[in-house]
Structure 1
Amino acid sequence: MNLLSIRIITADMERLVAFYKQITGLQIVQYTPDFAELKTPTTTFAIGSTKTLQFFGGEDVAQPAQNRTVIIEFKVDDVDKEFQRLSDYLQENIVQKPTMMPWGNKSFLFRDPDGNLVNFFTPATPEAIAKFSEK
């Protein structure tokens, strides 16, 4: 088994697509007004509008802007540099400034416009660096 994609549902595609373009600096392909993908070497991050829920059984299947359990994580080369680049843009959406985690990553946590938690992290200890160099 291989995890290939994570999708979030939003009521505001334009706002969320623009946000993820800004924070990642990566290209997002918007296939339709209701579906977009950001591809990385290991995973696809998809954004779907509430209109796409009709294909999965209706609007009761998922509720946009209701996540309080999942953290969307991106490994970055330099978390401090990303914090400096984004701190003005994110302003009041910053949850935690770059902080060393007990498991060896330096982490910068913030919320996207729908309230989803996003973590930019950089492996910092020799163990964490080794763990991620294998992927």
Structure 2
Amino acid sequence: MNLVSIRIITAQIESLVKFYEKITDTTAIQYTPDFAELKTPNATLAIGSTRTLQFFGGESVAQPAENRTAIIEFMVDDVDQEFDRLKNVLSPYIVQEPTTMPWGNKSLLFRDPDGNLVNFFTPVTKESVEKFATKQE
């Protein structure tokens, strides 16, 4: 089994796609006005409008801007550099400025415009660097 994507359902697809393009410095592939993907080497972040819910059984299947459990995580080369690059964009959304976690990652936690938690992190301890080095090969 292989996890290939996470999909966010939103009522504001245009603004959310632009937000993720800005923070990831990646251009989304917009397949339709209601569905886009941001592809990374290991996984894809899909963004679908609430109109796509009709294909999954109706609007009650998922509620946009209601996530209170998941964190979307991106491993970045230098979390401090990303924080400096995005400080103005993220200022209203910052939950925690770059902080080294007990498990060895330096982490920047913020919310997207729909309130979903996003974590940019960089492994900084020897153990954490080694852990992620084996996943990159």
Q: Specify if TM > 0.5.
A: yes
Q: Distance in 2 between matches of 1:133 and 1:27?
A: 26
Q: Note the residue ranges of structure 2 that are not aligned, 5 or more in a row.
A: none
Residue 38 of structure 1, CA deviation: 0.6
What does the per-residue CA deviation read over 1:95-130, in whole Å, with 9 as the maximum and x for residues that have no partner? 000000000000000000000000000000000000
Q: Distance in 2 between matches of 1:71 and 1:116?
A: 7
* Runs of 4+ more than 2 Å apart: none
Residue in structure 2 matched with residue 10 of structure 1 by the alignment: 10
Residue in structure 1 matched with residue 26 of structure 2 by the alignment: 26
What is the root-mean-square deviation of aligned Cα atoms in Å?
A: 0.5
Residue 91 of structure 1, CA deviation: 1.1
Matched, 1:128 2:136: no
Amino acid in the other structure paired with 2:58: G
Residue in structure 2 matched with residue 36 of structure 1 by the alignment: 36
SS at match of 2:91: helix
SS at match of 2:74: strand
Q: Distance in 2 between matches of 1:40 and 1:24?
A: 9
Matched, 1:49 2:49: yes
Q: Distance in 2 between matches of 1:38 and 1:19?
A: 11
What does the per-residue CA deviation read over 1:32-85, in whole Å, with 9 as the maximum and x for residues that have no partner? 000000111110110000000000000000000000100000000000000111
Q: Note the residue ranges of structure 1 that are not aligned, 5 or more in a row.
A: none
**What is the TM-score of this pair, normalised by structure 2?**
0.97
Q: Distance in 2 between matches of 1:103 and 1:87?
A: 25
Residue in structure 1 matched with residue 70 of structure 2 by the alignment: 70
Identity of aligned residues (%): 72
